[in-house]
Structure 1
Amino acid sequence: MPSDTEAVPVYLYEQFERLRRAEMAFHDGADDSVHQLRVAARKLRSTLRTFKTLVGKKNADAVAAELKWLGGELAPARDAEVSQARIEAGLDDVPPELVFGPLRQYLARGFTRTSQAGLARAAEALSSTRYATLVQSIAALIETTQPTERKALRRPMRKAARKLDRATAATAGLSGDELEKALHNVRKKAKRARYAADVVRPVSGKKLRTWRKHVKAIQRTLGQHQDSVVDRATLRHFAIDGFSENQNTFTFGLLYGRDEAAASMLRDRFADEWRTLTTGARPAWLKN
């Protein structure tokens, strides 16, 4: 095996290309393009933050900050898309006799307004000078990122794993809103740890791939949990507005209760998956 690896610059380049393809797809009006843009931006930002000592801290921090801005500009359009799909799917499971009034039309009107505003905001961001400068900065950063020793990848990877461990430990004894916020933080740390493992994976062994698989399961479960948190806030908003418009909001309350029950089951699943992660295989260097 060669003594150095291009794992970091290769991964950054792959995600940069994904970002540019998604940008073109967005301008063409393609479905799912906002989601693909957000994923690419998130992976780029996460990689720069995790491996910034290998990329160049000052430049990595500056580009990561701009990627955070981009993610914020894309978020409303994607969040509306996800909430609409989930709430409408939940409504499909409600017996017809418990759906009162023209709720589907009411939801469609509300989500259309939110989605249009979000897409306009995303379009403005992607057409801005600020975004063009960001694209140039990413390209320049990738070009100047040098191959590095394999062992140099381990320290940032361990740091990401430790942050995940600490975030999970911080959920102990919490409940209600505090627990939901803490679990959202665990999800973010799991996502960063998983992305770090994705960077290292081409030059790692089977044990890291197994560990990554368990982290991904946790991320997925807590992603569903966070979706339920967002959905409940959205349902509450619709219920309040609907009441003021003389809508029968019983069904919104029913969906809210179902989401609460689903969130409880997801927290139990997370606890099981965390035990699997902590007792499962991982490289010896990741334990140190």
Structure 2
Amino acid sequence: MTASHSPISPRRALHRTAGSETAAKAAAKRSVSASLPVEPGSSGSAKGRQTRQAIIDCALQMAGRIGLEGLSIGVLADRMEMSKSGVFAHFGSREELQIAVIRHYHDQFEQEVFYRAIEQPRGMPRLAAMVQRWLQRVSVEMETGCIYISSAVEFDDRPGTVRDALVAMIQTWHDAVRRAIVQAIEMGHLKPDTDPQQLMFQIHGYILALHHDARLLRLPNSLELACRSLDALLRDHATPEGLPLLLPCLAKEHPASDSAPH
């Protein structure tokens, strides 16, 4: 799966329904994973699907600590108390296992961040909700690790199917945030000279800084610094009409308990 040919990008569906807010929301809420090709091993008996999902759940927990490169059929077989051939029956290769883990993480991120955020009206409320829930997700992952960020270090210079899947899914989220920025400009909530790509870059930069300072440097006030920085960033780009809409969304507390740990 490559970023350029990946079916997970929702841009075409959203463009087709741009004239209708209700239809656009329905298109946006359509599961990304549902449009992907059926995975090998995803069909079969209910017990087989349950076993496969249990292996993926275990692999995701492990990947947060040891990275995707630390995963192997043998390691998972030991952890699941299964034979190597039993695990191999569900995943024909380590690459297929790694991609399944990335997909599962993406599904969780989609449910906790994207779907919850697009419940808010278009414009500043939706954009601020995306940023807020992104922060909440990272606040949980201060202990468990972020697959998107840690895997970027592992695969940024390693072409292949795993890197392609990782890039495609991260790009899907970035595209969604950029769309929210464009919509906020169109709604008059962000200044008309706001550069969506630049603002997206700055938002992502603060998220990366939070992950780095919280996990590596163990700075106790890193989440507070990130919240204040992102709040100031959006305020700087907000119009007088958009500024009041930011207050109830981003400026409030960001409890880690709002997101389930992984």
TM-score bracket for this pair, using the shorter chain length: 0.3 to 0.5
- Alignment TM-score, normalising by the size of structure 2: 0.36
- Alignment TM-score, normalising by the size of structure 1: 0.34
> Larger % of helix: which?
1
The structure number with the bigger radius of gyration is: 1
